[in-house]
Amino acid sequence: MSKEQFVLQLTQQLSGRWTIPILLSLESSGGRFTPLQRQLDIAPARLSDNLKQLSDAELLHHLTPLERRHPLLPEYKLTEKGKLYREAAQAIRSSEARIGHGTLSAKAWNMPVLVALNYQHGRFQEIRRVLQPVTPRILSARLDELYGEALIVREIADPSRPSFVYELSSLSARPIETLTADLSSLV
């Protein structure tokens, strides 16, 4: 797997409203379910679902009753892969702060689209190909939203047959470039 593929896959896996907050808050909550739920202000069922997904992705380890500090209280711990993803989550949060448009990673596909544009995949079909499971509808919606927030620039490539070429705007270019370099260094 190339560095580009690794970075794109990493940003895809860290997309979503709760993934990054859980990874960044797990240790400060002691890995326990209830303190984590209170810290994030998340519904218990939603937290449970997200923890299960992160466990299935081998980012978290659900401790057995014998491994826990209290056998009846659910407890989680980051795996080595989870620690790597936490570093990536910190890099994403840092780039979001530099961009100044809130938590872009809370919406699925925002960060992968921005990173794909940083890798010079500017046409719709190119972006769709490198972000393989993305549907045309969601990709179109994300490109429109990012364009509306002035994070990307859209230019007409061929006036006779209208098609767009996308690229990062001056507002997002430097932070996404830094993010891509930071994520590449984790390989």
Which of the 8 DSSP states describes residue 102? Answer: S
- Residue range 57-80: mean pLDDT, rounded: 86
Alpha-helix residue ranges (DSSP H) falling in 3-135? 3-13, 19-25, 33-40, 44-56, 80-99, 110-118, 124-130
pLDDT band of residue 1 (cuts 50, 70, 90) is confident
pLDDT band of residue 142 (cuts 50, 70, 90) is very high
- Residue range 125-150: mean pLDDT, rounded: 95
pTM of the model: 0.89
**How far is residue 162's CA from residue 146's CA, in Å, rounded to a whole number?**
20
pLDDT tens figures, 3-56? 999 999 999 999 889 999 999 999 998 889 999 999 999 999 999 999 999 999
- Residue range 158-185: mean pLDDT, rounded: 91
Cα torsion 44, 45, 47, 52 to 10°: value is 140
Using a 10 angstrom Cβ sphere, with 0-12 exposed, 13-18 middle and 19 or more buried, the burial of residue 135 is exposed
Average pLDDT taken over every residue of the chain = 92
